[in-house]
Chain A
Amino acid sequence: MTKGPSKTASALKRQWPLALLLVLLFTALAWAYLAPGPAAVGLAAQVDASLTASGVSSRVTAVLLNFRAYDTLLECFVIFLGVMVVWSLRPTTVTAPRQPQAGAILSSLERLLVPLMVLVAGYLLWAGSNQAGGAFQAGAILGGAGVLLLLDSSPLLARLPKGGLVWGICLGPFYFLVVAVAAMLRGRHFLEYRAPEATLAIVTLEATAAFSIGLCLATLFAGRQPQGKSRGENSAHSPAWEEDS
């Protein structure tokens, strides 16, 4: 290391509280793992017993989107709130340096990967009802596709209207609410749906949630409110993300 020995020593001195905390945490974890306790009772049996009523054959999806759909609803809103927080920040005065030309290699990678990403996201969404996969995974991959498009400053995103962006971000969380309230209108509890119509509800919920999560992640990466025109004008046709300059 190029640092002097005295600097390293002072760095070590500064780090000892952290080291102590880590050692304590580790000891606690080891104790919790090794200590004899009551035998853990899993919920696997209960989940299996009511799996047929859930509308899907994957246990994880059944738990996430039916038995404990409340959690997933809140998670959708957490990501939504994240976007709201980022948009409410004052734009940075620092502008990105004018980037070198993206180059043919990057754009051809983008043309190759983005369709494949959408395809794989669709596959994960579809596979989610009977094996691993689902809305969040598919959404993350869609977000990756969005990030790739943004990095290449692709004209595809520059043409995306701001209004469309806002609607797309809202779609997932609010569709979730609509489904939840629709269950109440039919005389059930909030978010309660059962086998015959549950499959449809879960599949549509997952698709909209994945779409919105992907859009939210890409928006988080863009990192600022879209530069739309002022409210009075027709903001639906202004580009959401202009190129960094």
Chain B
Amino acid sequence: MVVNAFDICLCLTLAWLAWQVLRSHDLFKAVVLFISFGMLMALSWVRLQAPDLALAEAAIGSGLTGALFLSALQRVTGNKRGERRLDRNEERHDKRA
């Protein structure tokens, strides 16, 4: 019963996260969501009784993809535009405050 609830919760969160990653226009947000997705994926592999995959996903998903994607984001958007993209939200926040 509880185990089923855990699995269902995991599935729903994963599906919702995947949807959010796909629909996000802000690339940085998508990257962070994807990192979270990787971590939840590691939990799913544990539940599917595949500890080998869980280990690989924990290493790749939580640590390396995050670093690789953030580094790639910096290169892809170019330094200035990429930063402006990150800063835009902060400026908006400043104005509101």
Question: What residues of chain A have their CB less than 8 Å away from a CB belonging to chain B?
Answer: 2, 11, 15, 18, 22, 60, 92, 94-97, 124, 131-134, 136-137, 140-141, 143-144, 147, 151, 217, 220-221, 223
Q: Which residues of chain B are within 8 angstroms of A133 by Cβ–Cβ distance?
A: 52, 55
A151 CB to closest chain B CB, in angstroms? 7
Beta-carbon nearest neighbor of B74 in chain A: A96
Q: What are 20 A-B contacts with C-beta separation under 8 Å?
A: A11-B23, A11-B25, A15-B23, A92-B75, A96-B79, A97-B79, A124-B55, A132-B51, A134-B52, A137-B55, A137-B56, A140-B63, A140-B64, A143-B59, A144-B59, A144-B64, A144-B67, A147-B64, A151-B67, A223-B75
Beta-carbon nearest neighbor of B22 in chain A: A18
Give Cα A97 to B82, complex, Å.
12
B19 CB to closest chain A CB, in angstroms? 7
Q: Name B65-97 residues within 8 Å CB distance of A.
A: 67-68, 71-72, 74-75, 78-79, 92
Q: Which residues of chain A are within 8 angstroms of B56 by Cβ–Cβ distance?
A: 136-137, 140
Known: A94-B79, A132-B52, A221-B68. A137 touches B59 (CB 8 A): yes
Give Cα A118 to B59, complex, Å.
13
A140 and B79: CB pair below 8 A?
no
Give Cα A144 to B52, complex, Å.
18
Q: Which residues of chain B are within 8 angstroms of A136 by Cβ–Cβ distance?
A: 56
Beta-carbon nearest neighbor of A132 in chain B: B51
A94 and B78: CB pair below 8 A?
yes
Give Cα A71 to B12, complex, Å.
33
Complex partner residue of B63 from A11, A134, A144, CB under 8 angstroms: A144
Q: Which residues of chain B are within 8 angstroms of A223 by Cβ–Cβ distance?
A: 71-72, 75
The 7 A-B pairs at the shortest CB distance, nearest first, are namely A140-B59, A132-B51, A137-B55, A132-B52, A144-B63, A94-B78, A60-B52
B43 CB to closest chain A CB, in angstroms? 15
Of A124, A136, A137, A223, which is in contact with the most chain B CB atoms at under 10 Å from its CB?
A: A137
Complex partner residue of B55 from A132, A151, A217, CB under 8 angstroms: A132
A18 CB to closest chain B CB, in angstroms? 6
A221 and B92: CB pair below 8 A?
no
Beta-carbon nearest neighbor of B68 in chain A: A221
Q: Does B60 contact A (CB under 8 A)?
A: yes
Given A11-B25, A132-B54, A140-B64, 19 extra CB contacts under 8 A: A11-B23, A15-B23, A22-B19, A94-B78, A124-B55, A132-B55, A137-B56, A140-B60, A140-B63, A141-B59, A143-B59, A144-B64, A147-B63, A147-B64, A147-B67, A147-B68, A217-B64, A223-B71, A223-B75
Known: A60-B52, A134-B52, A223-B71. A95 touches B79 (CB 8 A): yes
Beta-carbon nearest neighbor of A120 in chain B: B59
Give Cα A53 to B68, complex, Å.
40
B16 CB to closest chain A CB, in angstroms? 12
A143 and B51: CB pair below 8 A?
no
Beta-carbon nearest neighbor of B66 in chain A: A147
